[in-house]
A and B are shown apart, each in its own frame.
Chain A
């Protein structure tokens, strides 16, 4: 069975602070994909990033960066110099490769509140 754990239910930061959202996953698949999605107050899930299990290179996109560590089964997401527009619920998700492995298994989400 696959599982994604986002232990942080809610995080509040002041604008311009850096913040890291944690994601820990469990899977028996040797090949898998990890995702982060953002759900702003409007409700629509927005795709942020996909990472393959065989590529542990970290990725940076503007103020966003992702740290994938297979040894600790973690795929953490850091927002640098946070802004009010970053306020949203962030979901980490996992997709394996056994059976009809198309579905995403989501974590419970971390609500990020950025205030002025």
Chain B
């Protein structure tokens, strides 16, 4: 079956521009997560959605970062006024439910480069 998909796979943007990253979770998965992977910081949690609501936004690094999820499916992560330190691979994951017992399945990621 189809896994988690993300688009674009690569994005190069100029400092100060806004970017939108998209995640399409596995069909039927109610929980969706965004993580960021960078050389200096490793794999960091950003935000968790259960359905369309976000009970945990604790990992968003600044108010330039926001995310939404509509229809309990697709999610968009938006970074406003991008900075060079935002350069990283942004990973999306989904799981059947947000409960502890369910493993998270990851997408291929979006590599963001801010020049």
Q: Which residues of A contact B (CB under 8 A)?
A: 31-33, 35, 37, 42-47, 50, 52, 91, 95-97, 99-109
Contacts and interface: CB of A to CB of B under 8 A. Distances in A.
Main secondary structure of the interface of B (DSSP, over half): strand
A103 B103 contact: no
Given A42-B108, A91-B43, A109-B42, A101 B103 contact: no
Contacts of A47: 103-106
Closest 10 CB pairs of A and B: A45-B106, A106-B43, A103-B45, A100-B56, A100-B55, A102-B98, A44-B108, A108-B42, A102-B48, A47-B103
Contacts of B59: 103
A103 B106 contact: no
B18 to A, nearest CB: 24
Contact of A43 (B33, B56, B89, B103): B89
B112 interface: no
Contact of A100 (B48, B106, B107, B109): B48
Main secondary structure of the interface of A (DSSP, over half): loop
Given A43-B89, A103-B45, A108-B42, A31 B100 contact: yes
Contacts of B107: 44
B31 interface: yes
B42 A35 contact: no
Given A33-B100, A33-B101, A103-B48, 5 more contacts: A31-B100, A42-B108, A103-B33, A107-B42, A109-B42
B111 to A, nearest CB: 8
Contact of B56 (A91, A97, A102, A105): A102
12 contacts: A33-B101, A45-B91, A47-B104, A50-B103, A100-B56, A100-B98, A101-B100, A102-B48, A102-B98, A102-B99, A103-B48, A109-B42
